[in-house]
Structure 1
Amino acid sequence: MKKLFALLTMLLFTCSTFAQTEQPEMADAMRSNGKIYVVVVVCLVILLGLVGYVVRIDRKLTKLEQKKD
């Protein structure tokens, strides 16, 4: 019964998305406004922050492993 309810709910949501009006895609609208570059920069900053965090944690773990031996 739960599976049937979940299936019907998902079908209902997909049907409502087909009824939306035809508008430009979000990326096209942002590109035309020049805001796509802001999105790209924010994504790059987040990615670089995560890479820096992983490198820092790796260095700390390496130091701890060397102290242990």
Structure 2
Amino acid sequence: MRLPLLMKAPLAALLLLSQTLMAQQPVSDGVEMADRLRADGKIWVVVAVIAAVFTGIIVYLIRLDRQIGKLEKEVKEKKTNYSL
């Protein structure tokens, strides 16, 4: 569905105005929790947990891709066997 040009202009203007109206005020002191974690050296625990989660997700996706690839091969082989 394509929008005519007359409808795109007000939508674009609304989008641009809403970004400035809803923007948060900058924090001059920084984020207190992050500063505290950095000071205590616990920020590395947070980084390690996030890295472990992302690694787990990537490993899961790779395994899933391999399993789907094997199933696709089996389906192709069965189709070629039935067509002969």
Query: TM-score scaled to structure 1, two decimals?
Result: 0.65
| Amino-acid identity (%) | 43
Deviation at 1:45, TM superposition (A): 0.2
Across the two proteins, how many residue pairs are aligned to each other?
48
Select the structure that is richer in helix: 1
Runs (4+) of structure 1 exceeding 2 A deviation are: none
Distance 2:52 2:72 in 1: 30
Bigger CA radius of gyration: 2
Aligned AA for 1:56? R
Report the counterpart of residue 56 of structure 1 in structure 2.
Answer: 63
Aligned AA for 1:65? E
Q: Relative contact order: is structure 1 or structure 2 higher (C-alpha 8 Å, sep ≥ 6)?
A: 1
* Correspondence list, 1:9-28, <5 A: 25-28=32-35
Aligned AA for 2:38? R
Distance 1:34 1:25 in 2: 14
Query: TM-score scaled to structure 2, two decimals?
Result: 0.53
Gaps of at least 5 residues in structure 2 are 1-28, 77-84
